[in-house]
Amino acid sequence: MPGYGGDIIVWDEVTDLSFENNWFGEQAWPVPTFITIRLSACYDGTHVELFHHGFERLGADAAWEFLGYESGWDLRHLAELKSIVEDD
């Protein structure tokens, strides 16, 4: 099963993580997109923002690829992140 990931490009242990996002192997795009997770204090908790960006780097395929991911992201990803953090 192919995986995906990439280099960390921004790291601030308190507020920001950005990394390259690309498939490994034959499914790889010519250039990666990026995923950013940003944390900020909000009331008695933490506001979490998750951005998948950089699709414009894919040229003519950008809109098609963006639509594919747009329908795939939902709150289950943040719920899973929350469960991981709260288990530690």
Model confidence pLDDT, tens digit, residues 50-84: 899 999 999 998 998 888 877 777 788 778 888 88
Report how far residue 66's alpha carbon sits from residue 43's, in angstroms, rounded to the nearest whole number.
33
Report how far residue 7's alpha carbon sits from residue 63's, in angstroms, rounded to the nearest whole number.
24
Model confidence pLDDT, tens digit, residues 3-49: 888 999 999 999 999 999 998 988 888 999 999 999 999 999 889 89
What residues does each domain of the chain span? 4-87
- pTM tops 0.85, yes or no: no
| Dihedral of the alpha carbons of 15, 48, 17, 34, in degrees to the nearest 10 | -140
